[in-house]
Structure formats: C-alpha cells, structure tokens
Structure 1
Amino acid sequence: MSDTTRRKAQETLAMVEEVTGTILPDPNPATAIVPLDQADAGLGAEITRRMAELDMSDTNSIVSFGSRAQAELQTISQAMLTDVRNKDVGPAGDSLRNIVSTIRGFSVSELDVRRERSWWEKLLGRAAPFAQFTARFEKVQSQIDKVTEDLLGHEHKLLKDIKSLDMLYDKTLAFYDELALYIAAGEAKIAELDSTTIPAKEAQVQAAPENDQVIKAQELRDLRAARDDLERRVHDLKLTRQVTMQSLPSIRLVQENDKSLVTKINSTLVNTVPLWETQLAQAVTIQRSAEAARAVRDANDLTNELLTANAKNLRDSNKIIREEMERGVFDIEAVKQANADLIATINESLQIADEGKARRAAAEAELKKMEAELRDTLASAKARKTGLGDTAGTAVPRA
C-alpha cells in the first residue's frame, strides 16, 4: 500500500470512528392519527390549515392534496439517486473479494529456488523459479495497491451515503408525520361534508325552484363525487403513510450495513493490508536469504572439491616425479635387452658370413666345372673342323 493511501486511510479513521460511534435511534414512529376533535390547540391549528388547502370545486386540489409534503423528500431522494448515477460505484465487497483472491493466488510453492524448471518452461524460456516469484510478487503488490485505492474510494462513498441516509431518514420521518396531518385533515373534511355541507346542499336542492333543481342536483352530485374523490385520496395517503413507515427501518438497516462495511474496509486498510504486505515482504526476504545461503554452500562445496582435487593431483604428480627421480639413466632391463639384441646381431652376422663363404666356395667349384665343360666343348668343336675329331666318318654320304 502506498504512503498516500495509508495516510488517507489514517485520516479517514477519525470519520469512521465518528460514524460508527453514533448509535442510530430505533425507527419506531407514532402510528396513531390524532383526529381534529381530539387534537390540542397547536395540532388542531395545523390540521385546520391543511383543510384549508382543499377546494371541493377544484378536482386538482383534491388530487394533489398532501403532495406538497412529499416535495422536499423527493428532492433529497433525487439528489441521492443522481449522486449514485454520477459516481463510478462498484460493490465494495467485490474489492474485498478481489484482494483476497489476489493473495490466495500468490503460490508459495514458487518460492522453492531448488525446484528445477521443466523442459516445457525451458522451451518457453520462462524465468527461473525465484525470478518468476519476484515478478509475481511485484504484480501482486501493484494489484494490492490498486484494490486498496478502490476500497478507500468505496469507504468515502459509504460514509457520504450514511450521512445522506440520515437526512433521508429525517425527511422521511417528517413526511410520515406530515401525512398524518393531511390524513386527519382529510377525514375531518369528509366528516364536515357528511355532517354539514352535503345535507345543506340537499336542503338547497329541495328548496330550489323547479327550474333550478336540475342545476342544484348536479351541484349536489358533483359535491358527492368530490367527497368520494377525497375519500379515495385519503385512503391513498394512508397507504403511502404505511409504506413510508416500512421504509424507515429499511433506511436504518442500510445504514447499519454501510457502517459495518465501512468498519471492515477501514480495518482492512489500516490493519490487514499492511499485515499482508509484511508477510509477503518477509517471504521474499526469507527466500533471498535462502538463495544467498545456497550460494555460500555452493562456494564452500566448490572450495572443498578444489582442495580434494588438488590433493589428489599432488599425490599423483608426486608419485610420478619420485619414480622418475629414482630411476637410473638406463633401465637394467633395457641394457639387458640391448645386450641380447647386440649378441644376436653379431651371431646373425657371423652366420650370414659363414653362409656367404660357403655359397662362394660352392660357386667357385661350380665355376671351375663350367670352365672345364666349356674347354672340352671348344676342343671338340676344333676336331670337327679338321676332320680328326670323334665325328670323323659320321658325315652324311653324298648323294
């Protein structure tokens, strides 16, 4: 709730206490109508003055009899209706329900910062749980501010309505009493007509000449019709007075309801809304503390992991380094292998040399053999040329 709204609510508190502290009197008006012959001097004068408003020869005078008393009441009622039409009024109860719905819609489960976002939330790019909660909190705060301003406006309107209903009650009560005077005046006039005026007119009709009796008889008939109209008008005034009497407790009931609602609204503005805001602020602070604690825990876990990893790396490195330090320039196994390979190489070289020597000796013997064969062949070829060779006598005889 903004500071301005809070200040206005505190300022309105005095008005609310003044209105709610006023005890409304019970709407129990006097129901008896005092006849003219039983009224005291002052009341009798008022009844007589209203009787004087009647003109039995004027129909409008009978029809409008008692309507002047309602004029001021109509002015007050029309002013209230105009005020209702001109102002933007929504039920204050709806505003209370809206603010309750807003608070209830604030999901505390969103405060769980350890909750992993679903794949759907990640796909839609939704904010992390705490970021989403913070945004929701700001939205709820703005909604609370708006509803509290609406409630403050309803409170002012209800206070004005309560005072207007006081005026309406006083005017309605005055109208109720005024109707009693008009009813008493009408009944007194009817009694006067029945006991004096109409009998006198009947006597005039009887005493009138024959040529004037028709006119006098019509006047008597008109007088009797006016008397019946007045009787019906008085009956309507009695019904109006009964309805007016029923409206008095209705006005008080509306006032009591408005006073209760004003008290509830002011209590909500002054006490409940700040309490809600305090609780919401605490929720945010608690979650921020939890988030900070989690960050500290993660940092500590990282430190421990680094220490453990470094110790393991140091152990592994130290082992490798120490092993290398303790090794000789050449490993004995490598020297032994190299010596064995060298001996094998020498032996192979001697073997290959012996084999080559044998192959050369065999080749030399083979060469000597081939040389002897070649020499013998050449010698044989020379003997054939001289005819002394082994082929003599073998030539083909001439034909």
Structure 2
Amino acid sequence: MSDTTRKQAEATLAEVEQVSAVILPEPTEANAIVPLAEADAPTSDAITKRMAELDMSDTNSIVSFGSAAQSELQTISQAMLQDVRNKDVGPAGDSLRDIVTTIRGFSVSELDVRRKRTFWEKLLGRAAPFAQFSARFEEVQDQIDRVTDDLLGHEHKLLKDIKSLDVLYDKTLAFYDELALYIAAGEAKIAELDTTTIPAKEAEVQAADENDQVMKAQELRDLRAARDDLERRVHDLKLTRQVTMQSLPSIRLVQENDKSLVTKINSTLVNTVPLWETQLAQAVTIQRSAEAAAAVRDANDLTNELLTANAKNLRETNKVVREEMERGVFDIEAVKQANADLIATINESLQIADEGKAKRAAAEEDMKKMEAELRDTLASAKARKTGLGDTASTAVPNA
C-alpha cells in the first residue's frame, strides 16, 4: 500500500469514529398523533395553522393536503437516488473479497528454493522457484495497491452515504411528526364539519325557500363529498405515516451496515494490509537471507576446496622439484652408457681405420700389378706396330 493511501486511511479514521458514534433517535410517544383538543398551545397552533390550509370548496386543496410536508424529504431522497445511479452498488464488499482472494492466492510454499525444478518445469522453461516467488510477490503487491485504492474510494462514498442517511433519517422523522400534525388537523376539520359545518348547512337547506332549496341542497352534497374526500385523504396520510415509520428502522439498518463496512474497510487499510505487507516483506527478506547464507556456504566450500587442492598440488609439485634438485647434472647410468658408447665408437673407428689401411695396401698392390700389366700391354702393342712381334727380342742384330 502506498504512503499516500495509508495517510488518507489514517486521516479518515477520525471521521469513521465520528460517524460511528452518531446515535439516531427513535420514534417515541412524543411523536404520536395528538388531537387538537388535547394538544398543548404550540401543538394546537401548529394544527390550527394546517387546518387553515384546507378550503372545502376547492378539491385541489383537499387532494394536496399534507403534500408540502413531503417536498423536502422527496428532494433529499431524489438526490440520494441520483448519487446511487452514478456509482456501482456494493463494490466495497467485492473489493474486500478481492484483497482476501489475492492474499490467499499467494502461496508461501513458493519460498522453497531448495526444491529443484522438475523435468517438466525445465522442459517448459519455467523460472526457478524463488524467481517465480519474486514475480508473484510483485504481482500481489500491485494487486494490493490497486484494491486498497478502490477501498479508499468506497470508504469515502460510504461515509458520504452515512451522512446523507443521517439527514434523511432526521427529515423522515420530521416528516413523520409533520404527518401527525396534518392528520390531527384533518381529523379536527372532519369533526368540525360533522358537528358544526354540515349541520349548519343542513339547517340552511331546511330554512331556504323553494327556489333556493335545490341550490342549497347541492352545496350540502358538495360539502359532504368534500368531507368524504378529506376523510380519505386523512386515511392516506395515516397509511403514509405508517410506511414512514417502517422506513425509519430500514434507514437505520442500512446506515448501520454502512458503518460496519466503513469500520471494516478502515481497519483493513490501517491495520490488516500493512500487516500483510509486513509479513510478505519478512518472507522475502528471510528467503533472501537464506539465499545469502547459501552463497556464503558455497563460498566457504569453494575456499576449502581450493585450500585442499592447492595443498595437494603443492605436495606433488614439491616432490617433483626436490627430486630434480637432488639429481646430478648427468645420471651415472647415462654417463656409463655414454662412456661405453664412446669406447665402442673409438674401437670401431680404429677397426675401420685398420680395415681401410689394409684395403689401401691391397689397392696399391693391385694398382702396381695393373700398372705393370698396362705397361706390358702397351709394349706388346708397340712391337706389333714395328713388325718385330714377339720374336723381336730374339732376332740377331745386323753387323
């Protein structure tokens, strides 16, 4: 609920208490019909004044007798009915039900963020439990703000209705008393007609000459008809007064219901809604605290895992480094192998050198042999060319 709405509700509290404290008076014996003969001086003057409104020779005077008392009441009633037509009927109760439904639709079980999303929730792409809760909380908060604004408007309308009903009740009670005066005036007029006016007119008819007697008789009939019309009018006024008396508790009942509803609305705005909002805010805060604790726990777990992993890595790395540090530049086995390979290489080189030397000596012998053979071949080829042939060396030279 917004601060503006809360301040308005608190400001209206005094007005609610004021209208609730108003006690409407009830009709008593003082409101009863008092005959003119038994009335005190002020009441007698009031009855006489209303009797003066009657003109038995004017039918309209009889028909409209007492109607002036209802004019102000009718004006107030029409104004209230016009106000009723200009607004919805009974929306305050609907708003109260809406706000209760909104809160009841808010499930605190949604706070369980430890619950893992089901396969279907993951498949449908639904948000995590707390994300759903936060969105739901924002939706509920918006609905509460909207309904509280409506309730505040209904409260002002009901307060206006209660005050209007106060005025209507007072005017209705005054109309009830005014009807008593008109009824008393009508009955006094009827008694006056029955005991004085009509007998006097009858005597006048009897005393009239034959030419005027018909006219006087018609006047007597008209007077008696007017008297009967007045009696019927008084009877209607008595019925109207009875209905008016029945309307007084009806007005009071409606007003009491409005007072109860206003009190309930104001209590909801001032006490209940802030309490609901406080509880919802606490629920969110508690859940956020739980989330923060879980985050701290995860951070601590991660720190412990890092410490353990780092200690293990340090141990393994230190072992490798220390082993490498304690090793010589060359491993003895590698030196031995290298030395053996070197000796083998030297022996192999010497062997290859000896073999090469022998091969060169053999080659030299071969080359010498090939050279001798080549000379012999060349020499043989030269002798053939001179014709001496093979016998040239055996021939006897010339003397």
Sort the TM-score into its range (normalised by shorter chain): 0.7 to 0.9
Alpha-carbon shift at residue 130 of structure 1 (Å) = 0.7
Output the CA distance in 1 between the equivalents of 2:87 and 2:276: 30
Find the counterpart in structure 1 of residue 193 from structure 2.
193
Find the counterpart in structure 2 of residue 251 from structure 1.
251
SS in structure 1 of the partner of residue 140 of structure 2: helix
* TM-score relative to the length of structure 1: 0.75
Find the counterpart in structure 2 of residue 286 from structure 1.
286
Q: Which structure 2 residues correspond to residues 1-399 of structure 1 after superposition, within 5 A? A: 1-28=1-28, 30-88=30-88, 90-309=90-309
SS in structure 2 of the partner of residue 125 of structure 1: coil
Instruction: Spell out, residue by residue over 1:317-349, the C-alpha distance to the aligned partner (whole angstroms, 9 max, x if none).
Output: 7889999999x9799xxx9xxxxxxxxxxxxxx
Output the CA distance in 2 between the equivalents of 1:330 and 1:124: 69
Alpha-carbon shift at residue 217 of structure 1 (Å) = 2.8
1:172–1:244 CA contact under 8 A, matched in 2: yes
SS in structure 2 of the partner of residue 87 of structure 1: coil
Paired positions, count: 333
Alpha-carbon shift at residue 61 of structure 1 (Å) = 1.3
Give the unaligned 5+ runs of structure 1: 336-399
Output the CA distance in 1 between the equivalents of 2:261 and 2:32: 36
Alpha-carbon shift at residue 255 of structure 1 (Å) = 2.5
Output the CA distance in 1 between the equivalents of 2:173 and 2:19: 21
Alpha-carbon shift at residue 226 of structure 1 (Å) = 1.5
1:76–1:168 CA contact under 8 A, matched in 2: yes
SS in structure 2 of the partner of residue 30 of structure 1: helix
Output the CA distance in 2 between the equivalents of 1:27 and 1:144: 44
2:24–2:166 CA contact under 8 A, matched in 1: no
Alpha-carbon shift at residue 34 of structure 1 (Å) = 1.0
Output the CA distance in 1 between the equivalents of 2:75 and 2:8: 32
Output the CA distance in 2 between the equivalents of 1:125 and 1:56: 90
Instruction: State the identity as a percent.
Output: 85
Alpha-carbon shift at residue 313 of structure 1 (Å) = 6.1
Output the CA distance in 2 between the equivalents of 1:123 and 1:218: 102
Output the CA distance in 2 between the equivalents of 1:31 and 1:63: 24
Output the CA distance in 2 between the equivalents of 1:246 and 1:204: 46
Q: What is the identity, as a one-letter code, of the residue corresponding to 1:49?
A: K
1:29–1:173 CA contact under 8 A, matched in 2: no
SS in structure 1 of the partner of residue 61 of structure 2: helix
Output the CA distance in 1 between the equivalents of 2:144 and 2:332: 85
* TM-score relative to the length of structure 2: 0.75
